[in-house]
């Protein structure tokens, strides 16, 4: 058995180590899982480098989401779980960058065997983030609902567009390049604008008389503020990242004069504060959408755990790469 381990808080390439280990037998409320695939996410790098809301205590395991198969269960647990394929929820209570792991029963969801392994490995974070942003913010019952988003060509952006189409809502996505705009259109994005010097004119032309019910933001800064100007009275801006490093994502005049609501979202809060049965039900909903082809995301590369240094470097350098890098633990690396 092998796993990547954080030896110190710092730059991932410098502080990760591939180690051999012997997993203990699962205890009460636990299962022993053989991992099939595990995704590399930007949040993993923030966690390793101590820039996340959770700080690792080295030596510690790493990797938030993935999919695997149950090999054993703890004393008194449901034996029917043995052999089941399970989704590993991104609770940070186990590390998925490993060939095997021990997980709490509450941190797994049984999934069908006939769904693409790599697509399942990506379900934990980005699609759930997109689903919760759409369901839990703004007014989902609003007729003719419009959702605006920054970084429309991101992984969350792709899932958000596909989910919005499923629910009958319209999307306006902001990107930085025409190539990204074409990609968003290919996913079914209703309107796409380029964040250039003519952004305001692009927004006005794209929306016409329509107003946004919700703005989903992962960038921050001036472009986001312009998008917020097109929220309806009492509309909502929800921030789940600020990749620009700028936190002034809304104009105070919009907050006061049009009572725009500005709030934040972090999936871990939802995972920790929501009844387990509801969390599992939401993930089962997503898995069904992956199974029927509604949801999928780009995969940049699948790689072996032994090649973790190359995988980390590739994940941190998005130049020329479209899609996630995913660790796989069979012969399907490409």
- pLDDT per position as a tens digit, 53-97: 999 999 999 999 999 999 999 999 999 999 999 999 999 999 999
The DSSP 8-state label assigned to residue 53 in this structure reads S
pLDDT above 80: residue 318: no
Identify the pLDDT of residue 320.
Answer: 61
Residue 139 CA to chain centroid, in angstroms?
A: 22
Residues paired with 109 in a beta bridge: 87
Q: What is the pTM of this model?
A: 0.95
Q: 232 Cβ partners below 8 Å, 6+ apart?
A: 211, 212, 213
The DSSP 8-state label assigned to residue 86 in this structure reads E
Mean pLDDT, range 147-172, rounded to an integer: 97
**Exposed/middle/buried for residue 29 (C-beta within 10 Å: 0-12, 13-18, 19+):** middle
pLDDT interval class at 247 (50, 70, 90): confident
Mean pLDDT, range 18-36, rounded to an integer: 96
Neighbours of 268 (CB within 10 A): 16
């Amino acid at each position: 058995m092998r796993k990547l381990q954080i030896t110190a808080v710092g730059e991932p390439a410098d502080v990760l180590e591939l180690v051999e280990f012997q997993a203990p037998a699962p205890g009460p409320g636990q299962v022993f899982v053989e991992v099939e695939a595990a995704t590399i996410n930007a949040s993993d790098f923030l966690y390793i480098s101590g820039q996340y809301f959770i700080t690792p205590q080295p030596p510690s395991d790493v990797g938030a989401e993935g999919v695997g198969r149950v090999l054993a269960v703890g004393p008194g647990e449901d034996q029917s779980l043995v052999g089941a394929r399970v989704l590993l929820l991104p609770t940070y209570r186990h590390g998925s960058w490993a060939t095997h792991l021990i997980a709490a029963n509450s941190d797994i969801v049984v999934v069908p065997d006939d769904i693409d392994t790599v697509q399942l490995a990506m379900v934990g974070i980005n699609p759930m983030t997109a689903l919760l942003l759409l369901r839990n913010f703004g007014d989902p019952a609003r007729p003719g609902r419009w959702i605006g988003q920054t970084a429309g060509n991101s992984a969350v952006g792709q899932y958000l567009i596909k989910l919005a189409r499923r629910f009958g809502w319209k999307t306006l996505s902001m990107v930085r390049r025409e190539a990204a705009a074409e990609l968003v259109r290919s996913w079914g994005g209703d309107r796409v604008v380029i964040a250039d010097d003519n952004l305001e004119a692009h927004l006005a032309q794209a929306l016409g008389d329509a107003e946004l019910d919700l703005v989903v933001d992962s960038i921050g800064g001036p472009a986001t503020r312009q998008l917020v100007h097109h929220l309806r009275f009492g509309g909502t801006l929800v921030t789940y990242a600020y990749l620009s490093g700028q936190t002034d994502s809304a104009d105070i005049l919009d907050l006061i004069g049009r009572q725009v609501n500005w709030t934040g979202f972090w999936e871990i809060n939802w995972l920790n504060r929501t009844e387990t049965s509801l969390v599992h039900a939401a993930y089962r909903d997503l898995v069904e959408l992956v199974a029927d082809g509604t949801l999928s995301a780009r995969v940049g590369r699948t790689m072996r755990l032994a090649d973790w240094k190359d995988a980390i470097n590739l994940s941190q350098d998005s130049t020329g790469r479209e899609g996630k890098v995913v660790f796989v633990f069979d012969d399907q690396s490409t």
